[in-house]
Amino acid sequence: MHNLLKTIDKLKSEIDDMKPLKSSELKQLKDYYKIGLTYSSNAIEGNSIDETETKIIIENGLTIGGKPLREHFEVIGHSDAYEYIYTLLNNKSIKESDIKQIHYLFYRHIDEKNAGKYRKDRVYITGSEHMPPAPQNISRCMKEYVLELQDIKSDHHPVVYAAIAHRNFVAIHPFIDGNGRVARLLMNLILIQAGYPIAIIPPILRRQYIQALEKSHVKKDNSEFIKFIAECVKQTQKDYLRMLS
């Protein structure tokens, strides 16, 4: 893991050496990753809209024939939440209200009543032995989560911090739906705050991603999940450098 983080830091230095970028380049990269992250994050959760269709929905405002309305709303909502995290880049900490707003923007077109609000029912994660906290404990758990983020940030490499923040959020599962997508947006907020590009988890690696996350919950071993996320960060850095050069 140490060598992997050293490679990531080296790639980050190479990216930093190419800065500052023109505002037009920054916008193009931001929009490029908006499509990629929206598509991949939704696909991991079973959304059938592909990357090209995602681009058409976001950029042209068109609907895709034969695709469920909910899947369109997931694309639109994720795009809105993605834009929102860029308004938080200069913040020194992540607030509970920020997390609720990310979920609200993602979920409002699907279920406005529950958008941005903690769940009031128990949830059971399909295929997982992990049992998230009972509804009455969520508020306390989320307050603790936000406070602990500062300790994790000061004690760990930014990529490790981002991975643990993702893992711990999913463990709480505070919302009735959309927790995975909010977790990945939070993870990427942390990464871009620290000067890294957006990290995309390819849908083809969904099984490995879920298995590593499950191991972190059940066996309390975060190492495999952190390594998985770090590999995704490294791959995105390579893609970023390829596009810039």
In Å, the largest CA–CA distance within the chain is 52
173 is catalytic: yes
Q: Which of 72, 103, 166, 173 is catalytic?
A: 173
Per DSSP, the residues of 128-155 read: ----PPPHHHHHHHHHHHHHHHHHHHHH
Closest by CA to 187, choosing from 225, 221, 220, is 225
Question: 57 phi and psi, to 5 degrees?
Answer: -65, -45
Give CA–CA dist 166/186, Å, rounded: 7
Contact 152, 165 (CB under 8 A): yes
List, by residue number, the catalytic residues. 173
